[in-house]
Amino acid sequence: MTSDTVDLFSDTALAERVQTLRQQLQHHGHRYYVLDEPEIPDVEYDRLFTELQALELAHPELSSADSPTRRVGGAPLVQFASVRHAVPMLSIRTETDTLATGAENFDARVRRELGLTPSDPPVAYVAELKFDGLAMNLRYENGVLVSAATRGDGEVGEDVTQNIRTIRQIPLRLNAAAVDIPPVLEVRGEVYMRRDEFEALNERQREKIAHGAKGEKTFVNPRNAAAGGVRQLDPAIAAQRRLSFFAYGLGEVTPATQGGPEFNTHYDLLMTLKAWGFPVAEQTKVVRGAPELVAFHQHMGETRDQLPYDIDGVVYKVNALALQRQMGFVTREPRWAVAHKYPAQEQLTTVLGIDVQVGRTGKLTPVAKLAPVFVGGVTVTNATLHNEDEARRKDVRIGDTVIVRRAGDVIPEVVSVVLEKRQGQAEQFTMPRQCPVCGSAAVREEGEADYRCTGGLFCGAQRKEAILHYAHRRAVEVDGLGDRLVEVLVDANIIRTLPDLYRLGLTSLAGLDRMADKSANNLLEAIEKSKQTTLPRFMFGLGIRHVGEATAKALARYFGKLDAIMNASEEALLEVDDVGPVVAQSIRTFFDQAHNREVVEQLRACGVTWEEGEPAERAPQPLSGKTFVITGTLPTLGRDEAKDKVEAAGGKVAGSVSKKTDYVVAGAEAGSKLTKALELGVKVIDENQLMELLNGGA
């Protein structure tokens, strides 16, 4: 806020605005720091805070001891014991100017504070990352972790020692080989959650919600998930969050006269912490003067999406500790440090509509169409709502004001709705029961969170995936038909459905970029060869959900002919080994779609053929009901050949060893699967013993 804007307020209006800002900041601070349930993005909180700070600076008579500008953070939760910090955990000033001028202005302020002239050498700084996590104070006595406390309000925090002990990056005892470790050492840093761990956590949460678990929720962002993990009363839950830690400073340290090093620079301090066993971000470096501050900010801004964790800016600190002491503090912040922000990764915007997109595998995803908003360095107009359950849980409706988030390479998503800004009575979102691309039925299987289009062979959105699956070497197999070529053929509208593959000619292929006559001829020969296949390969190639190779073989053995499979009832399908209710329903739904039957008939008309026979005898097969795992190199059988023999004899081949595994077939250089089998007491056999079983031996 500018001074011109401030002057527009009357005295009464000014006081009311200050009071309103304080109430808003206290409310949102409580939601953010204490409840871990923010209602507004960080950038909005920062805007309110900056406005209040500007008003109080311009009008000191309106200052108050209980103003949020005089505090550091939130209050401790009552469930945890309180810890009074021996040295207050103060925050640093935030520079919201995300351009190079933000760094240049900080350097200019430092030089003024130190009384430096243009002819004096540049100031040395330590440039660090600004992690998006939870500040933590770790107290060590005689090298052993004795307590861990959150920042709290800066003076008093929460004792979260048991939860912090679950973070493997935090040493419980300092490196025994390290020297000069003081008797009392408080290390300060950030507890955070990696992006991959965050995505995995939310995926687990969505599965729980989909299966009807009560009281479960997905998390807004990694910072919220980390804070919630630290504040769990049950350390086992904290351990499941798989949190991480970076060190960046010190709290109380016994004087050097009682043991412990004397530091001259902040960088020396960080490198000593690293030697003592604490993780320090490898990007931390010493820079000199404004140009190098700008370069660091720019470089990290360009590469932040490649980091495995979130940052929302970088931090600059005067390196020399003597200069830090000379500059001192102002109110709640050190003069010698600043956090230089990047464009916000969360912003407010409006939902203009909700569309449904169909993915390559038929998954239907609701997508919010947004009023354009600049977030995470790009302009965002679409954000995922994941699935119907998530859209309903968040209660996103057309016209709502929402928080949208974009971090790293993660697809932008709607985090939550600002309900206080809702206007009108828009209806809740309901997933359509027909595919918006091809009109086929959209179904949601029991226990699944997603709706899927059933028109796999017909649906334009699934065209590329359907062709690639059909051409796979374990399916019908079209040698030389890979991702890039399928992309070109579909994008050029040369192939619209699978039968078009068999209508390709040399002329249409030769006109493609980088497709020479020889390559075109080779592909045509592979397509012609693929016409001679087997019923199991063809069934697998159709891409019916849940129908893998083993199931396709079981169906072919049981029914003998494709028409018998296509016309079988769910009850008849359930008679087949390896076919349960979900698989039976999926097969029936697939062949109930007229589009899919038409594609099958066209493939037959194009010359795709296989041998058919009478249904197999219903007598039990030698390996019926047995589960095998094949590992290592067998003397004479390839792994695929061994798998085919097991499945032909009624057995099932799994990819991992469990208590349900009956046999592990081990060859040369068998690895972890053999070890797991021995641990679980699963019977281990060699190739000769497998052949005996295949021949009906015990």
Angle subtended at Cα 553 by Cα 548 and Cα 556, rounded to the nearest 5 degrees: 125
Domains 346-421 and 627-694 share a fold: no
Angle subtended at Cα 277 by Cα 274 and Cα 281, rounded to the nearest 5 degrees: 40
CB 46: neighbour CB atoms within 10 A? 15
Phi, psi of 604 (to 5 degrees): -60, -40
- Cα torsion 97, 103, 104, 106: sign: positive
| Predicted local confidence at residue 578, as pLDDT | 77
Residue bearing tokens 């000069």: 180
Tokens coding 114: 């130190």
Looking at CATH, the fold of the domain delimited by 3-70 is given as Helix Hairpins (1.10.287)
What average pLDDT values come out for the chain (698 residues) when binned by 10 residues?
49 88 82 69 84 87 76 62 92 87 96 96 97 94 93 91 89 77 93 92 84 79 88 84 94 70 91 91 97 97 89 95 93 90 86 92 93 84 91 92 77 88 86 92 85 88 92 93 90 90 87 80 94 96 91 92 95 87 90 91 96 73 86 88 83 86 91 88 93 82
CATH 3.40.50.10190 fits 627-694, yes or no: yes
- Per-residue buried b or exposed e for 563-595, using 16+ beta carbons within 10 Å of the residue's own CB: ebbbebeeebbeebbbbeeebbbbbbbbbebeb
CB 66: neighbour CB atoms within 10 A? 8
Phi, psi of 25 (to 5 degrees): -65, -40
Do 554 and 577 touch, CB atoms closer than 8 A? yes
627: part of which helix (H) or strand (E)? strand 627-631
Q: What is the 3-state secondary structure (H, E, C) of 114-159?
A: CCCCCCCCCCEEEEEEEECCEEEEEEEECCEEEEEEECCCCCEEEE
Residues 6+ apart with CB under 8 A from 357: 364, 365, 367, 461
Second-level CATH architecture of 454-618: Orthogonal Bundle (1.10)
Residue bearing tokens 């008003």: 55
Of 3.30.470.30, 1.20.120.1200, 3.40.640.10, 3.40.50.720, the CATH number of 93-341 is 3.30.470.30
Q: Show me where the domains of the chain are located.
A: 3-70, 93-341, 346-421, 454-618, 627-694
- pTM of model > 0.85: no
Phi, psi of 380 (to 5 degrees): -105, 135
Do 418 and 399 touch, CB atoms closer than 8 A? no
Do 649 and 694 touch, CB atoms closer than 8 A? yes
Least Cα distance to 476 among 523, 541, 524, 535 occurs for: 541
Angle subtended at Cα 465 by Cα 461 and Cα 468, rounded to the nearest 5 degrees: 145
Superfamily of domain 346-421: Nucleic acid-binding proteins (2.40.50.140)
Q: Is 130 a catalytic residue?
A: yes
